[in-house]
Amino acid sequence: MQSEALRNIRTMRQVKTSLDLVGYQKLRTTNSLSRTAEEVANLKTIFDRQIEQILAKERKRSAATEAAIDKSRWRLIKAREKLAATINKNHALTELRHELQRARWEGRDSIPSKKAPLTESENLRRMELKY
């Protein structure tokens, strides 16, 4: 048996906002009530000369907005890539440092700390001062 309490609950898809309702309703003013069908048809065919300019300007503005949004998205992607590269580099360095530290604690040298022996020419250039 279904619950009677939950039967009449509406979801958000079933509820219409006032903005949705305005789109379906036609405004009925005193002036519009007195118009004949011929006047209504004539009013729909009247074309404003400036409307093409207004529409072109709006298309141009919309295209500029889209271009700005695309550029912003591209910059955001580049910034995220740069940040990801820095984070990956830092993770790799941290792992290497931890590995070197573990090796030092265990007493084994993964990287020799002693310098290579000096060659003869380097030995000759080196002077020892004795007092």
Q: How far is CA 56 from CA 20, 67, 68, 115, in A?
A: 28, 16, 18, 74
CB 110 within 8 A of CB 99: yes
Across the range 111-116, mean pLDDT stands at: 56
- Percent pLDDT > 90 in the chain is 36
Domain spans of the chain?
Answer: 18-108
For the entire predicted model, the pTM comes to: 0.43
Give the model's pLDDT for residue 71: 96
Query: Rounded to the nearest 5°, which phi and psi values hold at 78?
Result: -65, -40
DSSP characters for 69-93? HHHHHHHHHHHHHHHHHHHHHHHHH
Give the model's pLDDT for residue 95: 95
Give the model's pLDDT for residue 111: 57
Name which residue leads in pLDDT, 130 or 26: 26
pLDDT in tens, 74-109: 999 999 999 999 999 999 999 999 999 999 888 876
